[in-house]
Chain A
Amino acid sequence: MGKSTSLERNVKRAPGVYGWIDERLDLTAITEFACAKEVPEHKHSFWYYWGGISLFLFLTQLVSGVLLLLYFRPGADSYDSVRQITYDIDFGWLIRSAHSWSANLMVLAIFIHMFSVFFMKAYRKPREFGWWSGLVLAGLTLVFGFSGYLLPMDDLAFFATKVGLEIPRTIPVVGPFLVSLIQGGDSVSDVTIQRFFALHVVVLPLIFIGVLAFHLWLVQKHGNALPPDEELKPESERRSIPFFPNFFTKDLAMWLITLNVLAVLASLYPWQLGPQAEPASPAPDGIHPEWYFMSQFQVLKVFGKLMPGALGEAAGIIVFTVAGVMWTLIPLYDKDSARAVQARRATWFGLVVLGAFIALTIWGYADI
């Protein structure tokens, strides 16, 4: 909060309706602020756009999700209602396809954003909470993906959810109890759809929007982070551009490109609907999770082969947990980059995680 707002400063205002509103809501202060804000420009600037792209895809999800809500009926009717949306309602296939594709693109954009933040060491003081709130948003996005995947209740959705729920089941002591609570009974059923639906359209969006507001407030508060090699340069050699209109226009251009990519994917590769889930029939051949769960799936599979039974599963889950905790706590133990030195150890850690993620995903697809 500034000491004197432009309401008090007797600023000269535009005539007409805009001026009338401006006099009361002080829009001038917002534009003044946006024009004064600067965004650093350097050879890694491209990566600054990925948070905005993730945000745009989230907004697309909100709009297309509300549209799907108009015809979707959770519970016993869910398969039939998704069939109607896909085949009966005008352009229903496009809205559903856009929602599915945008979900996948959103996960991809968030991963790119996360890794670029990691490699630019943007998690350093004072931005630790930006890193943590971002990880919470990424986690929520994966839960969004998992819960939304069940809702059409075709055979893939049914078995993917069954397999996915096997992971929390391996938690010692409380696992089986937790899973029966999540799915509402001893198997995936209409009750599970109803629960996942409530989670997907009410609980997750509420939490997500709250955490997102915190995340964006922090970005605003701290500004864009400089990567270490840029920080080593003397002040006079650093360059920056005004947020408004320069960065804003580029941001908008990125959003348009994203919209074009989404439109092409959604219309040329429409999302399919499989046969209705039938608990008595066997799992379809080649069933596998969505690409963003593929690496975890593959780790479990490999450990399961090396160490048969519950031991392998436990070992796989321990590997994830340790990697996840190390990933989360990086701002606390990466002391090199805190001193504005290029932290090579952190970079190597990031490269190993990224490499393992990509390799395991490819391996997973090759192994189907």
Chain B
Amino acid sequence: MKKDSNKVKPEKADGPGGATMGRRGFVKAGIGAMSVCYVGAVAYPVYRYLAAPAKRAEETAKISQIALPMDKLPPAGTALTFMFGSRPALLIHLADGTKVCLDAVCTHLGCTVKFETDLQRIHCACHGGVYDARTGKNVSGPPPKPLKPYKVEFANGQINISRA
């Protein structure tokens, strides 16, 4: 027995590139590789399980166009908040008859903005950001960027809203 183990111990295999790896190193590397496989085999299904709703939301967000029935058009001087995929959007019917559609997510910290009928402007209640209702341009307060506009078209008795 003892003689045997003496014989095996000094044996070294030449690894790639001339580097040598002893038996201990080989076992260590093997255990390391096996651990990685186990962790991966457990972590991958768990990750997919956790990510399932996010993946679904991404698919919902992918839509590029929606149609609203004509009777959804708000009266002049008011606005309608609706969901464009997974994001809220504003369909504004200005007092002069112009129809504007804008993304309703504040560019500052993501609150949903509101069209104020008395001042005919867009206001964010969270930190007092103000946007121009005609263009979506950020005019005062903390918002760093304007609200993204959507394209509005009327056809076949429907309001078609699509990404600009």
Binding site for B on A (CB under 8 A): 67, 70, 88-92, 94-95, 256, 259, 263
Is B8 an interface position by the 8 A CB rule? no
- In the complex, chain B residues whose CB is within 8 Å of the CB of A95: 45-46, 49
Known: A89-B49, A91-B48, A94-B45. 19 other contacts (CB 8 A): A67-B46, A67-B50, A70-B50, A88-B52, A89-B52, A90-B45, A90-B48, A90-B51, A90-B52, A90-B55, A91-B46, A91-B49, A92-B52, A94-B49, A95-B45, A95-B46, A256-B38, A259-B38, A263-B41
Closest chain A residue to B46 by CB distance? A67
- In the complex, chain B residues whose CB is within 8 Å of the CB of A94: 45, 49
The distance in angstroms between the C-alpha atoms of A94 and B51, with both chains bound, is 15
The distance in angstroms between the C-alpha atoms of A14 and B41, with both chains bound, is 34
Chain B nearest CB, measured from A271 CB (Å):
15
Closest chain B residue to A263 by CB distance? B41
* Tally of contact residues, B, Cβ under 8 A: 10
What number of A-B contacts does a CB cutoff of 8 Å give? 27
Return the contact of A67 from the options B38, B49, B51, B55 (Cβ within 8 A): B49
- In the complex, chain A residues whose CB is within 8 Å of the CB of B48: 90-91
B61-77 interface code vs A (CB 8 A; 1 in, 0 out): 00000000000000000
The distance in angstroms between the C-alpha atoms of A203 and B45, with both chains bound, is 29
Closest chain B residue to A92 by CB distance? B49
Closest chain B residue to A95 by CB distance? B49
Ordered by A's residue number, 8 sampled pairs between the chains whose C-beta atoms are within 8 Å are A67-B50, A90-B49, A91-B45, A91-B49, A94-B49, A95-B46, A95-B49, A256-B38
Chain B nearest CB, measured from A56 CB (Å):
13
The distance in angstroms between the C-alpha atoms of A254 and B40, with both chains bound, is 20
- In the complex, chain A residues whose CB is within 8 Å of the CB of B50: 67, 70
Closest chain B residue to A94 by CB distance? B45
The distance in angstroms between the C-alpha atoms of A67 and B47, with both chains bound, is 11
The distance in angstroms between the C-alpha atoms of A91 and B41, with both chains bound, is 12
The distance in angstroms between the C-alpha atoms of A91 and B50, with both chains bound, is 9
- In the complex, chain A residues whose CB is within 8 Å of the CB of B46: 67, 91, 95
Which B92-140 residues sit within 8 Å CB-CB of chain A? none
